[in-house]
């Protein structure tokens, strides 16, 4: 009796536990039952629009349509008629269905849930499909949006969106995305994805016993409306961006302009460029492939990813460190007899009066001054050893924004290179001396900087020793911009020394007794301060310009880097001057309009790239 009773009680307990598990602990069967009675259709939100600093629309949404199906609901499918309606071949249809059912390629596949057959149908194709849906049970048309651009400019800033990849799905810890969703792939579309995407909604539809849609369940009281994405306002000036891209036609390099008082980026040009409109719709994959195969690398954002030798634009940072550390004074002069010349070594320079101090060394871009200064600092008895002096020098450079990522709100930024003592000890041995690396005094050798770091240095000098991290987004609708884009960073160098650098850079434009290197930037009334650079290269040298204006109340700081452009004064200086004039005055004076055509119609891309492109 006890055994039989125990068995009965045990069986009853097992049933109770199992029922509790099925009905309370798990909703699997409820979901399966619901799927028979209800169809929960995702309603996608509109992505946020993007505006320039003047309120001009740059990116907006355009409706597009996806064709979805639920495998369980497909009955007696007329494949030929469906393919004719969608304008695809039967073979392509079968290949698509095979990929969808492959759980390795499509981990989210389920017999009971929506699967995407075709994405981004145009309105006409979607309307044709909508008219014939009654012939194809289990198939649905879902409205989505794709991005549209008001101009063919700023692709490296704006980025684009594309269908989420399997690796991106795996990295999504929030569970927000499903296979077939679109996400930001490049530019601000990627960096600000969570702000731009919005929040999905849900529409609950009622089915009959045969699975046919009968309408909204209880008049939609259980529907959840989508929340549109936040609109973004950029610091970009769309007209300035347009001019920058025009001037960089037929060239490889970049232009970066910053508002010194806010750190907002006024333009960010990477050349060669491309029309962001080609990265929209069903041709996005083919367009991306063509751009990837282009030897000039138009997808490569040179403004933040290319690490170049900064050349003579690095000299202001060097001289400021020497002053701050007491290696030199404003009155200190060094000889220049055709360059930095000591027994067994000569680093050349162009002709100018000698000896020369820091201010005039900037105006005329004297190489010898900065070589003498670096040699003095690295070998100075003010420090316990050379490792300490090199570390002190590197720390100042890092504080100025070199050697590490600045933190711009774009994916893919590179750090450049400011070598430390250990770096040289590894390659030159522990007994290396300053003369072994003297070329870094003039921004050559191992020194590498990105164009945005060079522009940031111009903004730092304009601000007399402080900067805000350069950033693209000025405002986010209903939300504060990251606080790091509002905080000042200080270099630790006396602002009085920056005044000397400012005067030296002004002298480079207006001229002095020691010469000038930026005379082509001398536009009356703008008070431009500038510094040229000519970076050595295995081919033709690179042309560089760094500057800001006006001198005493700066509104714009800029860097221009033209690969294989030769002397800095040849191409980079006039490009930078035109950009400054356009921003400060709103237009280019008639007597300089010819420069726009002259520069934009000059192709400086090396022949080897043109040949490979053909």
288-326 pLDDT, tens digit each: 999 999 999 999 999 999 999 999 999 999 999 999 999
- Pairing of the two strands 232-234 and 50-51: parallel
Question: How sure is the predictor about 537, in pLDDT bands with cuts at 50, 70 and 90?
Answer: confident
Question: What gap in Å lies between CA 548 and CA 556, rounded to an integer?
Answer: 6
Closest CA to 74 of 100, 51, 55, 105: 100
Identify the helix (H) or strand (E) that includes residue 253: strand 253-258
Q: Is the pLDDT of residue 263 over 90?
A: yes
Q: Is the pLDDT of residue 515 over 80?
A: no
Q: Given this chain, do its domains 42-234 and 238-289+296-613 carry the same CATH topology? A: no
* CATH of region 238-289+296-613, choose from 3.40.50.300, 1.10.357.10, 3.50.50.60, 3.40.710.10: 3.40.710.10
Instruction: Write the pLDDT tens digit of every residue in 354-413.
Output: 999 999 999 999 999 999 999 999 999 999 999 999 999 999 999 999 999 999 999 999
pLDDT of 5: 81
pLDDT of 26: 56
The model's pTM: 0.89
Question: What gap in Å lies between CA 146 and CA 149, rounded to an integer?
Answer: 10
Q: Is the pLDDT of residue 25 over 80?
A: no
DSSP 324-377: HTTS--TT--B--SSEEEETTEEEE-----SSB-HHHHHHHT-HHHHHHHHHHH
pLDDT of 317: 98
Instruction: Write the pLDDT tens digit of every residue in 176-191.
Output: 998 888 999 999 999 9
Least confident of 162-166, 412-416, 539-543: 162-166
Instruction: Write the pLDDT tens digit of every residue in 493-512.
Output: 999 999 999 999 999 999 87
pLDDT of 488: 98
42-234 in CATH: which number?
A: 3.90.1310.10
pLDDT of 154: 97
Indicate the average pLDDT of the chain.
91
Percent of the chain clearing pLDDT 70 (strictly above): 95
pLDDT of 32: 47
Q: In the chain, where are the structural domains located?
A: 42-234, 238-289+296-613
DSSP 294-335: -TT-TTS-HHHH--B--GGGGHHHHHHHHHHTTS--TT--B-
Mean pLDDT, rounded, for 453-462: 98
Q: Is the pLDDT of residue 34 over 70?
A: no
Query: Which residues, including other chains, have CB under 8 Å from residue 369's CB and lie 6 or more apart?
Result: 319, 334, 336, 356, 357, 358, 361
Closest CA to 499 of 232, 320, 238, 260: 320
Question: How sure is the predictor about 212, in pLDDT bands with cuts at 50, 70 and 90?
Answer: low
Cβ pair 361, 315 in contact under 8 A: yes
Q: Is the pLDDT of residue 36 over 60?
A: no
Mean pLDDT, rounded, for 35-56: 86
Question: How sure is the predictor about 214, in pLDDT bands with cuts at 50, 70 and 90?
Answer: low
Token pair in block for residue 18:
């199992």
């Amino acid at each position: 009796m006890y055994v039989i009773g125990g068995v009965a009680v045990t069986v009853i307990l097992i049933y109770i536990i199992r029922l509790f598990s099925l009905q309370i602990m798990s909703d699997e069967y409820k979901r399966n039952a619901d799927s028979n009675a209800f169809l929960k259709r995702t309603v996608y939100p509109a992505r946020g629009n993007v505006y320039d600093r003047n309120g001009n629309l740059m990116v907006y949404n355009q409706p597009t349509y996806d064709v979805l199906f639920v495998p369980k609901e497909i009955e007696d499918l007329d494949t030929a008629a469906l393919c004719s309606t969608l304008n695809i071949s039967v073979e392509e249809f079968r290949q698509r269905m095979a990929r969808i059912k492959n759980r390795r390629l499509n981990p989210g596949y389920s017999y009971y849930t929506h699967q995407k057959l075709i994405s981004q149908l145009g309105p006409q194709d979607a309307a044709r499909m909508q008219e014939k849906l009654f012939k194809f049970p289990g198939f649905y048309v879902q409205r989505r949006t794709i991005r549209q651009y008001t101009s063919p400019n700023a692709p490296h800033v704006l980025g684009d969106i594309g269908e989420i990849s399997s690796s991106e799905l795996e990295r999504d810890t929030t569970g927000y995305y499903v296979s077939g969703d679109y996400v930001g792939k490049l530019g601000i579309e990627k960096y600000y994805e969570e702000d731009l995407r919005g929040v999905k909604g849900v529409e609950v539809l009622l089915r009959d016993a045969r699975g046919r849609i009968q309408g909204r369940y209880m008049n939609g009281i259980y529907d959840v409306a989508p929340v549109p994405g936040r609109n973004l306002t950029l610091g970009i000036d769309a007209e300035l961006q347009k001019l920058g891209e025009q001037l960089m036609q037929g060239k490889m390099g970049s232009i970066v302009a910053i508002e010194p008082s806010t750190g907002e980026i006024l333009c960010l040009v990477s050349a060669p460029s491309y029309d962001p409109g080609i990265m929209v719709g069903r041709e996005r994959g083919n367009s991306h492939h063509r751009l990837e195969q282009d030897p000039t690398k138009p997808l490569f954002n040179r403004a933040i990813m290319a690490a170049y030798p900064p050349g003579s634009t690095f000299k202001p940072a060097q001289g400021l460190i020497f002053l701050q550390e007491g290696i030199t004074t404003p009155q200190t002069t060094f000889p220049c007899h055709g360059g930095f010349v000591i027994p067994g070594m000569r680093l050349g320079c162009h002709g100018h009066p000698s000896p020369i101090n820091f201010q005039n060394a900037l105006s005329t871009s004297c190489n010898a001054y900065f070589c003498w200064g670096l040699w003095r600092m690295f070998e100075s008895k003010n420090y316990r050893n050379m490792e300490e002096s090199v570390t002190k020098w590197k720390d100042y450079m890092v504080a100025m924004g070199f050697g590490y990522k600045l933190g711009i709100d774009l994916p893919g930024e590179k750090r450049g290179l400011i070598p430390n003592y250990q770096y040289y000890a590894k390659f030159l041995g522990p007994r290396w001396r300053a003369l072994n690396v003297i070329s870094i005094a003039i921004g050559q050798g191992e020194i590498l900087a990105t164009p945005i770091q060079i522009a940031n240095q111009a903004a730092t000098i304009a601000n007399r020793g402080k900067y805000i991290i350069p950033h693209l987004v000025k405002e986010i609708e209903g939300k504060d911009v990251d606080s790091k884009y509002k905080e000042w960073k200080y270099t630790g160098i006396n602002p009085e020394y920056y005044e000397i650098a400012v005067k030296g850079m002004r002298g480079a434009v207006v001229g002095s007794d020691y010469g000038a290197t930026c005379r082509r930037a001398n536009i009356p009334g703008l008070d431009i301060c500038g510094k040229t650079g000519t970076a050595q290269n295995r081919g033709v040298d690179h042309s560089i310009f760094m500057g800001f204006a006006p001198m005493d109340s700066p509104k714009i700081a800029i860097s221009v880097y033209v690969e294989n452009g030769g002397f800095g004064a040849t191409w980079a200086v006039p490009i930078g001057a035109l950009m400054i004039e356009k921003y400060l005055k709103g237009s280019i004076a008639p007597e300089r309009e010819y420069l726009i055509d002259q520069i934009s119609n000059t192709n400086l891309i090396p022949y080897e790239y043109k040949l490979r492109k053909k």
